Structure 1
Amino acid sequence: MGKPTEDELKQALTKAAELREQGQDSDFVAKSLLSLNYRHNKALHVITQVKRYLHSGSSATEHARLTKLIEEFETVESGPHDQIGLL
């Protein structure tokens, strides 16, 4: 299975949001896609910050930013998923 293009992903996320808004997501496929995309983007922010931290020589400022991002990601992972901004 190949990775979707940027346009394909945008189209799928738009359709998923529509299905959720219309209450037509009986199998929770749209909810799952939206949630996974949101979590994926949060994880990418953590990875970006880790790279900055490692590149900066482990500065205190970068460490604080990294710690905050990790805490935010953990909150997303353990929190109520219906209340997060999915797009």
Structure 2
Amino acid sequence: MNFSFAAGAMPIVDDLSIAFNAAKTESVGTSGDFDLGIEYLPSLVKIRCYVYGYGDDSSRVEAAEAAIREAANAHPNRPTLDLV
């Protein structure tokens, strides 16, 4: 997955909903550098995220969810996270 928020790009986004296929995240579960860049969303207070995969992608889904959970916990606002 080649998607990440850049510094200063969306300063007033406070509610983020995103869905993606874990199979398209080549770094998840390998080098551990999965990063959406949510640290660059200074107003963020809520994240809804749907990570999906097919067949043997369950470990990639779990790795992506763990990375998102870690990023939310590290965010200064401690946004609520809803993994669906």
Q: Which bracket does the TM-score occupy, shorter chain normalised?
A: 0.3 to 0.5
- Structure with bigger RCO (C-alpha 8 Å, 6+ apart): 2
Q: Which has the larger radius of gyration?
A: 1
What is the TM-score when the length of structure 1 is the normalising length? Answer: 0.33
Name the TM-score, length of structure 2 as normaliser: 0.34
Give 1 or 2: higher helix fraction. Answer: 1
